[in-house]
């Protein structure tokens, strides 16, 4: 308390701060930290937790960052208002990360070394280990409850309602009721210590609101797994890789709940942990070829390995669904950090002329819906469709619109001939474009005793699936695939426009997890009287709306989380846009992009003389 008095207290802020927890990996801090975030969510206040974790199981530093935003901004924000430092390894760095005038909550069981004292922050020492040792006998419990003690302390400092914590603990330990009482004890130990030793609440704190409404809090990977179950996938083939592993785990969890035959107890699904990503993709292609819906989930290194198979599925026209939970590359890169850096890899995966539809979800609700949609798209287009999510969206809990499903929705299996249709037609041509949309008719193996059989192959063939090296037949086929690509443009999800008509000659364009911070940046810039029009891309190939947006602005900032401006390259390449008018706003340090970063880059650019190229009129573009 004495330490805090020297620094003047700023004006109180309500529901607007960033708290960070510095823990040691594998010490049970995750559930305590989640309890903290979930309690704020339950108080009706928008909250975004993010795990910043090492590629390690036990012993290395890990952080949990919680942003609270009354305005509902869910992107990461820089500047830490409160840091709970319980990791000696990273203590120095952690203390340096606190913003001027911020707070450090630490375990005062041991005295803090003088070189860790900063004059411009507040120190709140709580003897967490001492309290845990005095009140609990089991060594593991002492470790775990130390974490719960700081949650209790924060609940007083920040005004988290005790009843909310209590009910969350009761839900968490339903079935293990014995654990509820010691958890409550630990909460109260923290609460009492703060009440006896410090002024409270801090100059930023929480107040109950009704801003969460019917929203849910869930991670994107869980949503993808659930979307695959709802979308009708029966085969999930996968190979373990961070950060995508939990997609397969979620699929299996939900399938084991909802896909059991009530009569026999047998499974309407199969999960195969493959020997590598190549085999995982091979299984997906084999299953889809034979008429089942199948998917795999991986990250960049896995997509690299799958390239050959993706090319096969493109050329042989076999549907496949791939979920790419992107992480920081290249190579093994930073396996536990986020990026949007597989865009060009995924868009043009495999040798020869290939290109693949990509979907860009920005929330768990979209992860759910778009995963299910991927199956319809893959079946309609008879080609691999890739859902481009990332570690930030996949592994962090996000406040999201609730999941919804139209009860009358039917799976769109695309053009598939059944036995009667084969019977009634003349000669069946697997690769005949009978409707001019580039999409030919499939038929599943085993459909008809004497009609429809052919050899699916990665080699060139004619319209009747007969092997050929005839140049004209090869070219006709490649041109039909291009026609199919044009069809894809019309059926992939359209972008979201943030204005009914253009308000500015400058635009901003973003996708996926860059959305949160981009929306916030747009508001901040508006406050600074910089008006920008905005568009969020939801799919590749780009449709007419995206093209019109870019054409009708003199300057477009393209916000993405990679070094090379990969989406910008796609835009230039696919729509022949003038590169001069497309300005990259990038973040590629492995951390989620922040609004401040975007604002800084955009305003710096606009400060340049002639930032908006007046010579680029619409007709020139």
Site for other proteins in 394-413 (CB under 8 A): 402-407, 409-411
Q: How far is the CB of 96 from other proteins (least distance, A)?
A: 36
Q: How far is the CB of 256 from other proteins (least distance, A)?
A: 10
| Residues 299-358 within binding reach of other proteins (CB under 8 A) | 308-309, 312, 316
According to the binding rule CB under 8 A, does residue 166 interact with other proteins?
A: no
Using alpha carbons, list the distances in angstroms from residue 140 to 32, 44, 148. 14, 33, 13
Q: How far is the CB of 294 from other proteins (least distance, A)?
A: 6
Q: How far is the CB of 584 from other proteins (least distance, A)?
A: 36
Nearer to other proteins, 123 or 309 (CB): 309
Q: How far is the CB of 402 from other proteins (least distance, A)?
A: 4
Nearer to other proteins, 331 or 450 (CB): 450
According to the binding rule CB under 8 A, does residue 414 interact with other proteins?
A: no
**Whole-angstrom distance, CA of residue 128 vs CA of residue 23:** 13
* Residue 32 near residue 72, CB atoms below 8 Å: no
Nearer to other proteins, 82 or 236 (CB): 236
According to the binding rule CB under 8 A, does residue 530 interact with other proteins?
A: no
- Of 456, 424, 463, nearest to 440 (Cα)? 463
Nearer to other proteins, 119 or 406 (CB): 406
Using alpha carbons, list the distances in angstroms from residue 124 to 2, 24, 150, 229, 261. 10, 20, 11, 48, 56
Size of the site for other proteins (CB under 8 A): 77
Member of 56, 290, 418, 531 binding other proteins (CB under 8 A):
290
Member of 280, 322, 378, 381 binding other proteins (CB under 8 A):
280
- Of 556, 553, 559, nearest to 597 (Cα)? 559
According to the binding rule CB under 8 A, does residue 621 interact with other proteins?
A: no
Nearer to other proteins, 119 or 275 (CB): 275
Q: Residues of 201-229 as b/e, b for ≥16 C-beta within 10 angstroms?
A: bbbbbbeeeebbeebbbbbbbbbbbbbbb
| Residues 424-483 within binding reach of other proteins (CB under 8 A) | 444-450, 453-459, 466-469
Member of 72, 291, 414, 429 binding other proteins (CB under 8 A):
291
Nearer to other proteins, 121 or 226 (CB): 226
Member of 88, 112, 129, 274 binding other proteins (CB under 8 A):
274
| Residues 202-221 within binding reach of other proteins (CB under 8 A) | 214-218
CA atoms within 13 A on the CB side of 429: 13
Q: Which two tokens stand for residue 64?
A: 């949990």
Q: How far is the CB of 543 from other proteins (least distance, A)?
A: 28
Crossing angle of helices 245-258 and 220-230, in 10° steps, is 40
CB atoms within 10 A of CB 234: 18
Q: How far is the CB of 202 from other proteins (least distance, A)?
A: 27
Nearer to other proteins, 110 or 467 (CB): 467
| Residues 17-76 within binding reach of other proteins (CB under 8 A) | 42
Member of 78, 276, 523, 526 binding other proteins (CB under 8 A):
276
**Whole-angstrom distance, CA of residue 198 vs CA of residue 484:** 67
* Residue 75 near residue 48, CB atoms below 8 Å: yes
Q: How far is the CB of 315 from other proteins (least distance, A)?
A: 10
Member of 152, 182, 220, 282 binding other proteins (CB under 8 A):
282
Q: How far is the CB of 35 from other proteins (least distance, A)?
A: 15
Using alpha carbons, list the distances in angstroms from residue 511 to 70, 102, 137, 489. 24, 33, 51, 17
Q: Which two tokens stand for residue 287?
A: 């299953």
Q: Which two tokens stand for residue 581?
A: 């008018």
Nearer to other proteins, 157 or 279 (CB): 279
In the DSSP assignment, the letter for residue 179 is G
Q: Cα–Cα–Cα angle for 593, 594, 598, nearest 5°?
A: 90
According to the binding rule CB under 8 A, does residue 167 interact with other proteins?
A: no
Binding mask 233-262 for other proteins (x = CB under 8 A): -xx-x----------------x--xxx-x-
Question: Kind of pairing, strands 16-24 and 61-69?
Answer: antiparallel
Nearer to other proteins, 38 or 553 (CB): 38
Q: Which segment (22-30, 173-181, 186-194, 266-274) binds other proteins by CB under 8 A?
A: 266-274
Q: How far is the CB of 568 from other proteins (least distance, A)?
A: 32
Nearer to other proteins, 131 or 281 (CB): 281
The terminus-to-terminus CA distance of the chain in angstroms comes to: 63
Q: How far is the CB of 285 from other proteins (least distance, A)?
A: 6
Member of 180, 184, 271, 621 binding other proteins (CB under 8 A):
271
**Whole-angstrom distance, CA of residue 52 vs CA of residue 30:** 11
Q: How far is the CB of 225 from other proteins (least distance, A)?
A: 11
| Residues 560-619 within binding reach of other proteins (CB under 8 A) | none
How many residues belong to the chain?
Answer: 621
| Residues 479-518 within binding reach of other proteins (CB under 8 A) | none
- Of 358, 351, 410, 415, nearest to 384 (Cα)? 358
Q: Which segment (89-97, 277-285, 488-496, 511-519) binds other proteins by CB under 8 A?
A: 277-285
In the DSSP assignment, the letter for residue 276 is S
CB atoms within 10 A of CB 560: 27
The long-range contacts involving 250-255, CB below 8 angstroms and separated by at least 24 positions, are: 250/221, 250/222, 250/223, 250/224, 250/225, 250/226, 251/224, 251/225, 251/226, 251/295, 252/225, 253/225, 254/225, 254/226, 254/229, 255/229
Q: Residues of 99-109 as b/e, b for ≥16 C-beta within 10 angstroms?
A: beebbbbbbbe
Member of 80, 83, 224, 272 binding other proteins (CB under 8 A):
272
Nearer to other proteins, 124 or 374 (CB): 374
According to the binding rule CB under 8 A, does residue 531 interact with other proteins?
A: no
* Residue 487 near residue 439, CB atoms below 8 Å: yes
Member of 208, 267, 415, 563 binding other proteins (CB under 8 A):
267
Nearer to other proteins, 214 or 618 (CB): 214
Q: How far is the CB of 141 from other proteins (least distance, A)?
A: 27
């Amino acid at each position: 308390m004495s330490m805090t008095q020297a620094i003047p207290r700023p004006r109180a802020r309500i529901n607007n701060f960033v708290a960070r927890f510095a823990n040691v990996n594998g010490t049970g801090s995750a559930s305590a930290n989640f309890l903290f975030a979930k309690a704020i969510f339950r108080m009706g206040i928008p909250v975004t937790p993010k795990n910043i974790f090492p590629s390690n199981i036990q012993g290395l530093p890990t952080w949990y960052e919680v942003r609270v935003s009354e305005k509902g901004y869910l992107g990461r924000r820089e500047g830490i208002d409160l840091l709970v430092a319980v990791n000696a390894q990273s203590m120095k760095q952690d203390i340096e990360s606190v913003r001027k005038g911020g707070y450090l909550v630490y375990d005062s069981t041991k005295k803090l070394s003088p070189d860790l004292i900063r004059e411009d922050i507040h120190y709140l020492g709580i003897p967490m280990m001492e309290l845990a040792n005095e009140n609990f006998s089991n060594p593991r419990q002492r470790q775990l409850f130390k974490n719960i003690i700081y949650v209790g302390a924060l609940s007083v400092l920040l005004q988290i309602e005790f009843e909310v914590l209590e009910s969350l603990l009761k839900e968490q330990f339903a079935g293990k009721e014995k654990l509820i009482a010691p958890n409550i004890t630990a909460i109260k130990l923290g609460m009492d210590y703060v009440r006896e030793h410090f002024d409270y609440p801090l100059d930023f704190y929480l107040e109950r609101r009704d801003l969460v409404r019917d929203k849910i809090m869930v991670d994107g990977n869980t949503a993808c797994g659930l979307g695959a179950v709802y979308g009708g996938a029966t085969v999930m083939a996968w190979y373990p890789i961070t950060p995508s592993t939990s997609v397969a785990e979620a699929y299996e969890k939900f399938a084991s709940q909802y896909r059991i035959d009530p009569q026999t107890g047998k499974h309407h699904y199969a999960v195969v942990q493959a020997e590598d990503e190549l085999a995982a993709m091979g299984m997906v292609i084999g299953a889809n070829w034979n008429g089942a819906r199948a998917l795999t989930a991986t990250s960049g290194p896995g997509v690299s390995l799958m390239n050959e198979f993706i090319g096969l599925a493109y050329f042989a026209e076999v549907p496949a669904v791939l979920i790419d939970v992107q992480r920081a590359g290249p190579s093994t890169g930073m396996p536990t950090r986020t990026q949007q850096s597989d865009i060009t890899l995924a868009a043009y995966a495999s040798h020869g002329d290939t290109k693949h539809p990509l979907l860009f979800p920005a929330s768990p609700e979209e992860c759910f819906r778009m995963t299910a949609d991927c199956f319809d798209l893959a079946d309609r287009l008879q080609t691999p469709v890739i859902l481009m999510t990332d570690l930030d969206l996949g592994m962090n809990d996000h406040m999201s619109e609730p999941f919804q499903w139209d009860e009358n929705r039917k799976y769109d299996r695309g053009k598939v001939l059944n036995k009667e249709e084969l019977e009634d037609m003349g000669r069946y041509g697997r690769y005949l474009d009978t409707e001019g949309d580039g999409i030919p008719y499939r038929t599943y193996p085993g459909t008809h005793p004497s009609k429809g059989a052919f050899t699916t192959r990665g080699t060139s063939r004619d319209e009747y699936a007969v092997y050929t090296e005839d140049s004209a037949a090869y070219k006709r086929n490649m041109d039909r695939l291009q026609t199919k690509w044009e069809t894809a443009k019309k059926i992939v999800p359209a972008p979201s426009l943030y204005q009914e008509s253009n308000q500015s000659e400058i635009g901003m364009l973003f996708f996926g997890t860059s959305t949160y911070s981009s929306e916030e940046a747009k508001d901040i810039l508006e406050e600074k009287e910089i008006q920008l029009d905005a568009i969020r891309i939801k799919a590749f190939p780009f449709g007419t709306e995206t093209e019109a947006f870019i054409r009708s602005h003199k300057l477009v900032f393209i916000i993405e989380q990679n070094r090379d401006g990969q989406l910008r390259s796609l835009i230039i390449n696919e729509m022949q846009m003038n590169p001069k008018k497309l300005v990259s706003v990038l973040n590629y340090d492995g951390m989620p992009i922040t609004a401040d970063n975007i604002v800084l880059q955009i305003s710096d650019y606009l400060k340049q003389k002639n930032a908006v190229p007046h010579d680029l009129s619409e007709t020139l573009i």
